[in-house]
């Protein structure tokens, strides 16, 4: 292995190493100090950033850097290839993941100071960085899927970070459901690739498929990408993901995770370019999402939801760009969108202050926004559109009424056969009052 | 609907009455941009404190005190002492339970060694494997438990089931409230919102073509029906109530339950209904009735659709058997700590057993916590009073000796205590005073950068005078170019922000310019202080600052602002009155120094929705710099001084007043109008500036001892850098600890407390009873200071003891909503109160006022003020006096003053504050800081 291959491996594996070491020591009962944890994080991501700089320099001359470790396991003709690769497509993503993870680590060291979940947050941040780097630097879809899943699970765990309140946990579960559903697309696509071409690796160019096979694989990948990127009809989970601490919202839904779907499509672009149907569908989904995002965002009155939809709008446009085959524009757009949203999320608590500043600078009168809506549309349409925006395109409502509810009824019906009749509980005598609700924290004494 | 005309309108009147009554407990916090500290349980002030926390606790399902475990750990580390526990128990009625056991001895035993808390959910586990299983290894205890079990009768009430309808309607209701109240986050304002909440929601939801969630299907038709009938909000509420119950007596309970289900939003609606101008940008027709009507209409549909049927089955953890076991365990544990044997328990007659078990029940967790809390406060009270009395006894009153080189007025804020001490330590010839931080000038102030005026005075005062900052002659053009450039900057900011969120413009700005935001991102995160300096430098370079003055002159009584109706400026008499209102009570009527500095204060921090909570409470949650500047300008006027002389305040001609501003977050100090200082006084100003520079660095160092993230071995320079960085750090959830340490308010001469280390825990208000023979000044001071200090103390108390219910939880997931408040995540109730990061090091005690006067004089003042009397008699504040002449201390207990007798030890002595606090994180006890008694020479270093 040459130096650049070593660097590549280091960049991807370093966050995993930090995660593994700290997680293991924690399991053994050790609780590292905040200073040690944030210091280590800083050093790791600084080193990774240097490594990324080297990789950028290398890929600007050579086309790619590849590191192969044979296969993880093999079953019959199937084998799971362990191959890392950065090329000109993945290097911007790798750079983005490393730099933003480092900056978010720096932010969180102060932001989460004295928070009881400090260690948990940093463990998840490292695991997430590893997952996203693995996804971006994978040389095959098999490995990419591994990174993809790690990103998904850390995302869900950070949404439910404040595990003592019900809302974060419920919303985390909702996101988990959507993620898992859409991940099926990626997994089936990989099966299909193996089935038809015997490999899902793209190190040496894409395997060859017939026209119909291409369309099916593209659609499956698009399904997976749409879920991760919160495209219509899956957009409902995005505002729910705002339950976690602000920096995790920033890096996941402003920057990395939300753009992972776009990366998947960019990676599959050689296939996509072959299929007009799939390309059109990507453009269609992107366009609908962009319009959905901008309309819903206009009726969102809280800082984070409004930012979430602003991000989503641009991701929709990125999908259009990908569908049109404008790779480099899409990449530039992703980098710009990710950076500005990270900044905006991190500054979201300042919204009040910023708005007040602008207000006084402009002289006390801000020109009203959104008046053209009232002027252009008849009142009925205007009201209808506003309500549509307020219910976020009715996406959640439809999911709940027409997917979740029938499913849970079905499962209730199916489980009826399993139930044994339970004895009815004995009547409870009432009388003098219970101890006033003072339990809360006092388990006292033991 | 019944009847028409008068009967209907009287029904609506009754409904209004019921609703207003039901709305009392709602939080009274306004939009978060102006944060005014107030008693969280303001609505319960008519009740005694202990009763109020209990009732409110039941209503809000909140904790009344800290947890018992917490008090126990305070007991074991000596913060609570047994003598205090005994004193509290001894003051309460005693009785005999059975021969050999009195109530007080039972209670003592239940606190030390102490009983455990049991509940039905864990009892079986604890018996089988937990602490009780361990107990039962001793056979005697096993038998004791069995003996108690055979006699225990289980009876407990079921807690109310959660209201499942909430889960259905809250997502919608929260979103509707947030867009209705929005002050500019959303690009589209809610249609028709100028018609009020009920009507705009009705119009919005009654239109066709939308999809409702499962349990709200039919909401559209219901709203259409109401629209068709021409309902007002009150009609809609009545219609709902009639459909539920024929009895008007049941209204109160229904309405209150509905309002308290989402108290933050309901409270804001009500607050804005009462004071619409609190809305920062758009005034909206808010009405609690509207809110109620929308809520009830939704609840009605949800209930019709069967949402309420999904009540979860009773938890299997709560069976009758478990309740009996946990009840047994409580009695068993009390018997165990009393060392009763199983035979003794079995021998008790039935009536003795009933009394015994009900006494144990009467001293339940809540009661034990009450006693422990009272002991906790009593220990604090004794420490403070002993310290003050000892300081007075062994140290005597501080004697400045000669004319001080400068006198500095600070706000009474407890955060200024360390600043004052630091100033006196580094410059012993300086004398400091404390006054409410608006310095008697209640004004509506409009600075050169402000679009509108804002009231700078306590919230209970409505300013009658307007003051405008304007450029000095010749600087008008500078101001114009400043305005013009600010406008460009503002428009640029706004456009880039708005456009980054739109579709097409957003495409351009993110794809082409998005990467540019890496510069502020990296700057803010990697070098926050330097980046702030850079921005400040750019600001200075780009935005010229004109020299300004305040429009404080008014010659005729007629000159009122055309729109506001406020008086423009002050007449000479009014000015003199205001200056006298601060100098007089403080006893500063002669012996003026050459320089008198008035320092207002405020706090600047970044990325902090609660920023205003750190500003000056006496300025209504705003920054007090202009008040100080105004005060100094008034006191420097010849005609004012002449009038003051007639009132006995003799300001010599060689005294000059300077106004200033202290930022309590970054410890910066600015002095105003230095170009107006006569050349004779320039050296004085120069030396006080140097004194401030020493003092603020010392102060930063003392504050830094509380910050774990500041290096323990920091020196003054690094500490100052550390606090400066805090105020500029994007990620800093605790830029300063605010009022976190408040616990005492000392109203008296500085001579009484000078040299005393009070650990930033005491509000210090200067008051000299010798110049106040008829107690008028004291009455005025108490009327201004008590509500402000008590409000701060009680808000911190409640936000600390139950941060989830009374406070707003951790800041980390907060989401600014409608520019009016914060939610957790994307759809929660509006969170009111203080975040955990602001209160985490607080000691929750009710504030102790110590007034340097006699009990007799103080009682006279209290008797004429019903508000004060209520606070005191219901024990929301604690009160003590220290006699100015004899130094005897009296403390107010059970409705009267009693003398405080304790042996006084000398306080520990330290050569400097630093020596006393270095390396310590915790609250510190009082100490005597040994500084030079009097200054020689110029005294200033």
- Looking at residue A432, its pLDDT comes to 34
Q: Percent of chain B beyond pLDDT 90?
A: 77
- Looking at residue B504, its pLDDT comes to 87
Co-location of B569 and B717 in the same domain: yes
Confidence class for position B473, pLDDT limits 50, 70, 90: confident
Q: How many domains does chain B have?
A: 4
Is residue B642 over pLDDT 80?
yes
Q: Tens digits of per-residue pLDDT, B44-75?
A: 999 999 999 999 999 999 999 999 999 999 99
Is the Cβ pair B486, A361 closer than 8 Å? yes
Which of A286-290, A415-419, B69-73, B865-869 has the least mean pLDDT? Answer: A415-419
Q: Could you tell me which residue, A278 or A375, shows the higher pLDDT?
A: A278
The long-range contacts involving B131-140, CB below 8 angstroms and separated by at least 24 positions, are B131/A445, B131/A446, B132/B329, B135/B336, B140/B341, B140/B342
Is the Cβ pair B494, A362 closer than 8 Å? yes
Is the Cβ pair B188, A299 closer than 8 Å? yes
B732 close to A (CB below 8 A): yes
Evaluate whether residue B487 is within a structural domain.
Answer: yes
Q: Percent of chain A beyond pLDDT 90?
A: 72
Q: What is the mean pLDDT of residues B432-448?
A: 94
Co-location of B690 and B826 in the same domain: yes
Residues of B in contact with A425 (CB under 8 A): 314, 319
Which of B184-198, B285-299, B490-504, B577-591 has the least mean pLDDT? Answer: B490-504
Is the Cβ pair B159, A374 closer than 8 Å? no
Co-location of B804 and B667 in the same domain: yes
What pTM, to 2 d.p., does this model score? 0.93
User: Which residue on chain B is closest to A292 by alpha carbon?
Assistant: B503
Is residue A94 over pLDDT 80?
yes
- Looking at residue B555, its pLDDT comes to 58
Is the Cβ pair B61, A350 closer than 8 Å? no
Q: Tens digits of per-residue pLDDT, B242-258?
A: 998 888 899 999 999 99
Cα separation, B900 vs B889, in Å, equals 5
- Separation in Å, CA of A132 to nearest CA in chain B: 20
Is the Cβ pair A383, B361 closer than 8 Å? no
| Cβ-contact B446, B529 below 8 angstroms | no
Is the Cβ pair A103, B281 closer than 8 Å? no
| Cβ-contact B812, B709 below 8 angstroms | no
Evaluate whether residue B135 is within a structural domain.
Answer: yes
- Separation in Å, CA of B529 to nearest CA in chain A: 14
Is residue B490 over pLDDT 60?
yes
Distances (CA, A) of B747 to A348, B373, B624, B769, B884: 42, 25, 21, 10, 11
Domain boundary among B484, B519, B542: B542
Task: Give which of B136, B172, B188, B612 to mutate to test A binding, by max A Cβ within 10 Å.
Answer: B188
Q: How many CB pairs under 8 A join A and B?
A: 367
Co-location of B199 and B229 in the same domain: yes
Q: Could you tell me which residue, A371 or B498, shows the higher pLDDT?
A: B498
Task: Give Cα A247 distance to the centre of its chain.
Answer: 13
Q: What range defines the domain where residue B169 resides? A: 5-30+161-310
Confidence class for position B5, pLDDT limits 50, 70, 90: low
Q: Tens digits of per-residue pLDDT, B21-35?
A: 999 999 999 999 999
Q: What is the mean pLDDT of residues B169-195?
A: 93
Is residue B716 over pLDDT 60?
yes
Which of B150-154, B334-338, B691-695 has the least mean pLDDT? Answer: B150-154
Residues of B in contact with A446 (CB under 8 A): 116, 126, 130-131
Q: What is the mean pLDDT of residues B144-169?
A: 75
SS3 annotation, B556-592: CCCCECCCCCCEECECHHHHHHHHHHHHCCCCCCCCC
Q: Tens digits of per-residue pLDDT, B354-409?
A: 999 999 999 999 999 999 999 999 999 999 999 999 999 998 888 877 899 999 99
Co-location of B232 and B363 in the same domain: no
In the block, residue with structure tokens 């009545």: B238
Segment 460-519 of chain B within 8 Å of chain A by CB: 483, 486-487, 489-491, 493-494, 497-498, 500-503, 506-507, 509-515, 517-518
- Looking at residue B375, its pLDDT comes to 97
Q: Tens digits of per-residue pLDDT, B604-616?
A: 999 999 999 999 9
Q: Which residues contact B161 (CB under 8 A, 6 or more apart)?
A: B311, B312
User: Which residue on chain B is closest to A394 by alpha carbon?
Assistant: B211
- Nearest to residue B871, comparing CAs of B42, B35, B28, B37? B42
Confidence class for position A441, pLDDT limits 50, 70, 90: very low
Co-location of B792 and B692 in the same domain: yes
Identify the three-state secondary structure at position B929: strand
Q: What is the mean pLDDT of residues B528-539?
A: 93
Residues, chain B, total?
941
Q: What is the mean pLDDT of residues B511-518?
A: 89
Residues of A in contact with B159 (CB under 8 A): 434, 437
- Nearest to residue A442, comparing CAs of B329, B118, B375? B118
Q: Classify the phi-psi angles of B138: left when phi > 0, otherwise alpha if psi is within -120 to 50, otherwise beta.
A: beta
Distances (CA, A) of B216 to A240, A434, B305: 20, 36, 7
- Separation in Å, CA of A76 to nearest CA in chain B: 47
Evaluate whether residue B392 is within a structural domain.
Answer: no
Is the Cβ pair A445, B207 closer than 8 Å? no
Task: Give which of A37, A340, A357, A441 to mutate to test B binding, by max B Cβ within 10 Å.
Answer: A340
- Looking at residue B714, its pLDDT comes to 84
Q: What is the mean pLDDT of residues B220-236?
A: 95
Residues of B in contact with A364 (CB under 8 A): 451-452
User: Which residue on chain A is closest to B522 by alpha carbon?
Assistant: A103
Cα separation, B689 vs B671, in Å, equals 8
Evaluate whether residue B630 is within a structural domain.
Answer: yes
Confidence class for position B924, pLDDT limits 50, 70, 90: very high
Confidence class for position B525, pLDDT limits 50, 70, 90: very high
- Nearest to residue B455, comparing CAs of B350, B564, B371, B535? B564
Is residue B556 over pLDDT 70?
no
Is the Cβ pair A300, B186 closer than 8 Å? yes
Which of A203-217, B362-376, B585-599, B781-795 has the least mean pLDDT? Answer: A203-217
Task: Give Cα B470 distance to the centre of its chain.
Answer: 34
Is residue B154 over pLDDT 80?
no
Is the Cβ pair B157, A434 closer than 8 Å? yes
Is residue B310 over pLDDT 50?
no
Residues of B in contact with A391 (CB under 8 A): 210-211
Is the Cβ pair B187, A369 closer than 8 Å? yes
Is the Cβ pair B502, A291 closer than 8 Å? no
Is the Cβ pair B364, A435 closer than 8 Å? yes
Is residue B707 over pLDDT 70?
yes
DSSP state of B511: I
Segment 65-84 of chain B within 8 Å of chain A by CB: 67-70, 72
Is the Cβ pair A336, B510 closer than 8 Å? yes
- Looking at residue B496, its pLDDT comes to 86
B182 close to A (CB below 8 A): yes
- Looking at residue B564, its pLDDT comes to 65
Co-location of B729 and B770 in the same domain: yes
Domain boundary among B522, B542, B562: B542
Burial of B108 (0-12, 13-18, 19+ CB in 10 A): buried
Residues of B in contact with A436 (CB under 8 A): 54, 57-58, 364, 366
Evaluate whether residue B388 is within a structural domain.
Answer: no
Confidence class for position A419, pLDDT limits 50, 70, 90: low
Residues, chain A, total?
446
Residues of A in contact with B520 (CB under 8 A): 343
Q: What is the mean pLDDT of residues B864-872?
A: 94
Co-location of B694 and B768 in the same domain: yes
Evaluate whether residue B16 is within a structural domain.
Answer: yes
Co-location of B121 and B197 in the same domain: no
Evaluate whether residue B243 is within a structural domain.
Answer: yes
DSSP state of B114: I
- Separation in Å, CA of A171 to nearest CA in chain B: 10
User: Which residue on chain B is closest to A168 by alpha carbon?
Assistant: B825
Tokens of B762: 């005491």
Residues of A in contact with B280 (CB under 8 A): 356
Residues of A in contact with B491 (CB under 8 A): 362
Co-location of B760 and B888 in the same domain: yes
Is residue B459 over pLDDT 90?
no
- Looking at residue B143, its pLDDT comes to 93
CB-facing half-sphere around the CA of B658: CA atoms within 13 A: 27
Identify the three-state secondary structure at position B762: strand
| Cβ-contact B531, A353 below 8 angstroms | no
- Separation in Å, CA of A169 to nearest CA in chain B: 12
Is the Cβ pair A442, B500 closer than 8 Å? no
Co-location of B564 and B503 in the same domain: no
Of B186, B522, B810, which is closest to A103 when you measure between CB atoms?
Answer: B522
B214 close to A (CB below 8 A): yes
Is the Cβ pair B131, A107 closer than 8 Å? no
Is residue B582 over pLDDT 60?
yes
Evaluate whether residue B70 is within a structural domain.
Answer: yes
Co-location of B581 and B535 in the same domain: no
Is the Cβ pair A110, B709 closer than 8 Å? yes
Tokens of B77: 């580390």
Domain boundary among B542, B568, B584: B542
- Looking at residue B293, its pLDDT comes to 96
- Looking at residue B936, its pLDDT comes to 41
Is the Cβ pair B116, A444 closer than 8 Å? yes
Q: Label the pairing between strands B762-766 and B744-748.
A: parallel
């Amino acid at each position: 292995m040459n130096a650049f291959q070593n660097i590549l491996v280091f960049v991807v594996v370093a966050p995993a190493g930090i995660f593994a070491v700290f997680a293991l020591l924690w399991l053994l009962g050790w609780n590292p100090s905040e200073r040690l944890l944030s210091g280590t994080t800083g050093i790791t991501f600084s080193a990774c950033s240097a490594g990324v700089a080297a990789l950028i320099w290398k890929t600007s001359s050579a086309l790619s850097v590849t590191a192969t470790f044979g296969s993880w396991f093999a079953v019959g003709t199937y084998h799971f290839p362990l191959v890392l690769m950065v090329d000109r497509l993945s290097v911007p993503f790798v750079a983005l993941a490393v730099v933003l993870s480092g900056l978010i680590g720096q932010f969180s060291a102060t932001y989460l100071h004295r928070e009881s979940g400090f260690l948990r947050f940093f463990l998840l941040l490292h695991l997430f960085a590893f997952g996203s780097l693995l996804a971006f630097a994978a040389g095959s879809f098999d490995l990419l899927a591994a990174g993809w899943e790690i990103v998904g699970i850390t995302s869900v765990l950070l949404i439910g970070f404040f595990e003592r309140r019900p809302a974060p946990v419920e919303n985390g579960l909702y996101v988990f459901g959507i993620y898992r559903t859409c991940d099926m697309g990626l997994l089936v696509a990989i099966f299909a690739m193996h089935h038809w071409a015997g490999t899902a690796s793209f190190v040496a160019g894409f395997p060859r498929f017939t026209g119909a096979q291409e369309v099916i694989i593209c659609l499956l990948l698009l399904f997976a990408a749409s879920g991760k990127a919160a495209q219509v009809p899956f957009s409902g989970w995005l505002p729910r993901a705002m339950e976690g601490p602000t920096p995790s919202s920033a890096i996941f839904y402003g920057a990395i995770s939300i753009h992972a779907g776009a990366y998947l499509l960019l990676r599959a672009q050689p296939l996509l370019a072959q299929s007009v149907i799939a390309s059109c569908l990507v453009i269609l989904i992107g366009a609908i999402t962009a319009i959905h995002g901008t309309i819903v965002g206009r009726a969102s009155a809280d800082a984070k939801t409004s930012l979430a939809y602003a991000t989503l709008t641009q991701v929709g446009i990125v999908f259009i760009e990908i569908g049109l085959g404008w790779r480099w524009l899409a990449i530039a757009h992703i980098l710009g969108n990710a950076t500005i949203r990270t900044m905006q999320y991190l500054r979201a608590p300042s919204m009040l202050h910023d708005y007040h500043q602008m207000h006084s600078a402009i002289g006390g009168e801000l020109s009203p926004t959104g008046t053209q809506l009232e002027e252009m549309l008849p009142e009925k349409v205007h009201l209808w559109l506003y309500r549509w925006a307020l219910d976020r395109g009715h996406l959640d409502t439809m999911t709940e009424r027409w997917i979740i509810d029938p499913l849970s009824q079905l499962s209730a019906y199916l489980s009826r056969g399993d139930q044994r009749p339970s004895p009815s509980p004995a009547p409870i005598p009432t009388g003098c009052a219970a101890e006033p609700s003072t339990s809360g924290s006092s388990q006292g004494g033991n | 609907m019944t009847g028409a005309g008068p009967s209907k309108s009287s029904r609506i009147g009754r409904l209004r009455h019921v609703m207003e009554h039901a709305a009392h407990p709602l939080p009274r916090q306004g939009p978060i941009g102006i944060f005014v500290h107030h008693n969280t349980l303001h609505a319960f002030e008519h009740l005694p404190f202990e009763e109020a926390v209990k009732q409110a606790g039941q209503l809000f399902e909140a904790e009344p005190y800290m947890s018992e475990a917490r008090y126990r750990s305070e007991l074991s580390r000596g913060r609570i002492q047994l003598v205090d526990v005994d004193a509290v128990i001894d003051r309460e009625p005693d009785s005999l339970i059975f021969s050999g056991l009195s109530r007080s001895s039972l209670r003592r035993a239940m606190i030390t060694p102490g009983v455990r808390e049991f509940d039905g959910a864990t009892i079986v586990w604890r018996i089988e494997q937990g602490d009780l299983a361990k107990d039962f290894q001793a056979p005697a205890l096993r038998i004791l438990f069995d003996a108690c079990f055979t006699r225990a009768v289980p009876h407990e009430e079921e807690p109310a089931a959660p209201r499942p309808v909430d889960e259905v309607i809250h997502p919608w209701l929260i979103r509707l409230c947030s867009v209705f109240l929005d002050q500019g986050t959303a690009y589209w304002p809610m249609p028709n919102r100028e018609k009020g909440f009920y009507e705009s929601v009705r119009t919005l939801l009654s239109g066709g073509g939308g999809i409702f969630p499962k349990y709200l299907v039919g909401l559209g038709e219901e709203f259409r029906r109401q629209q068709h009938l021409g309902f007002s909000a009150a009609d809609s509420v009545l219609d709902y109530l009639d459909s539920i119950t024929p009895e008007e007596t049941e209204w109160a309970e229904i309405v209150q339950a509905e309002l308290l289900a989402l108290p933050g939003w309901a409270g804001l609606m009500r607050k804005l209904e009462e004071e619409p101008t609190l809305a920062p940008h758009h005034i909206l027709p808010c009405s609690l009735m509207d809110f109620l009507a929308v809520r009830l209409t939704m609840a009605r549909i949800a209930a019709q659709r069967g949402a309420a049927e999904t009540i979860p089955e009773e938890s299997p953890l709560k069976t009758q058997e478990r309740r009996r076991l946990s009840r047994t365990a409580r009695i068993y544990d009390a018997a165990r700590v009393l060392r009763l044997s199983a035979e003794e328990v079995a021998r008790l007659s039935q009536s003795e057993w009933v009394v015994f078990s009900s006494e144990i029940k009467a001293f339940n967790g809540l009661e034990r916590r009450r006693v422990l809390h009272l002991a906790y406060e009593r220990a604090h009270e004794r420490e403070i009073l002993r310290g003050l009395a000892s300081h007075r006894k062994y140290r005597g009153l501080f004697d400045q000796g000669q004319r001080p080189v400068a006198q500095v007025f600070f706000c009474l804020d407890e955060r200024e205590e360390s600043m004052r001490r630091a100033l006196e330590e580094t410059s012993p010839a300086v004398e400091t005073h404390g006054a409410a931080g608006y310095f008697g000038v209640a004004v509506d102030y409009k600075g050169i950068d402000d679009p509108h005026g804002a009231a700078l005075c306590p919230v209970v005062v409505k300013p009658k005078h307007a003051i405008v900052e304007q450029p000095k002659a010749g600087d008008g053009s500078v101001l114009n170019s400043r305005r013009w450039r600010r406008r460009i900057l503002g428009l640029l900011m706004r456009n880039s922000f708005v456009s980054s969120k739109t579709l097409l413009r957003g495409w351009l700005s993110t794809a082409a310019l998005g990467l540019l935001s890496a510069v502020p991102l990296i700057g803010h995160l990697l070098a926050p202080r330097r980046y702030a300096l850079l921005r400040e430098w750019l600001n200075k370079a780009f935005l010229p600052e004109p020299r300004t003055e305040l429009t404080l002159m008014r010659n005729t009584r007629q000159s009122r602002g055309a729109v506001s109706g406020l008086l423009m400026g002050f007449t000479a008499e009014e000015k003199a009155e205001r200056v006298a209102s601060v100098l007089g009570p403080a006893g500063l009527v002669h012996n003026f120094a050459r320089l008198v500095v008035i320092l207002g204060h405020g706090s600047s921090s970044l990325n902090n929705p609660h920023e205003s909570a750190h500003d000056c409470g006496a300025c209504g949650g705003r920054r007090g710099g202009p008040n100080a500047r105004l005060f100094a300008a008034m006191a420097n006027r010849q005609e004012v001084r002449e009038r003051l002389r007639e009132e006995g305040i003799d300001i010599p001609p060689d005294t000059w007043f300077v106004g200033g501003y202290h930022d309590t977050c970054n410890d910066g100090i600015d002095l105003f109008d230095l170009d107006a200082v006569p050349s004779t006084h320039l050296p004085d100003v120069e030396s006080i500036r140097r004194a401030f520079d020493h003092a603020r660095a010392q102060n930063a160092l003392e504050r830094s001892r509380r910050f774990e993230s500041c290096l323990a071995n920091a020196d003054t320079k690094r500490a100052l850098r550390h606090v400066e960085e805090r105020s500029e750090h994007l990620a800093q959830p605790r830029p300063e600890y605010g009022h976190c340490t408040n616990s005492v308010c000392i109203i008296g001469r500085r001579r009484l407390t000078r040299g005393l280390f009070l650990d930033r825990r005491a509000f210090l208000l200067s008051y000299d009873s010798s110049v106040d023979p008829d107690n008028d000044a004291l009455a005025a001071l108490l009327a201004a200071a008590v509500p402000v200090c008590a409000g701060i103390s009680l808000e911190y108390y409640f936000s600390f003891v139950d941060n989830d219910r009374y406070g707003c939880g951790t800041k980390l997931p907060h989401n600014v909503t409608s520019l009016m408040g914060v939610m957790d995540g994307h759809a929660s109730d509006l969170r009111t109160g203080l975040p955990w990061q602001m209160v985490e090091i607080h000691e929750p005690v009710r504030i102790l006022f110590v007034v340097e006067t006699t009990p007799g004089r103080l009682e006279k003042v209290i008797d004429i003020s019903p508000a004060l009397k209520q606070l005191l008699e219901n024990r929301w504040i604690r009160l003590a006096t220290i006699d100015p002449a004899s130094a005897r201390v009296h403390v107010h207990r059970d409705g009267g003053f009693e003398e405080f007798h304790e042996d006084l030890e000398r306080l520990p002595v330290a050569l400097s504050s630093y020596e006393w606090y270095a390396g310590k994180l915790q609250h510190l006890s009082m100490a005597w800081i040994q500084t030079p008694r009097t200054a020689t020479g110029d005294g200033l270093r």
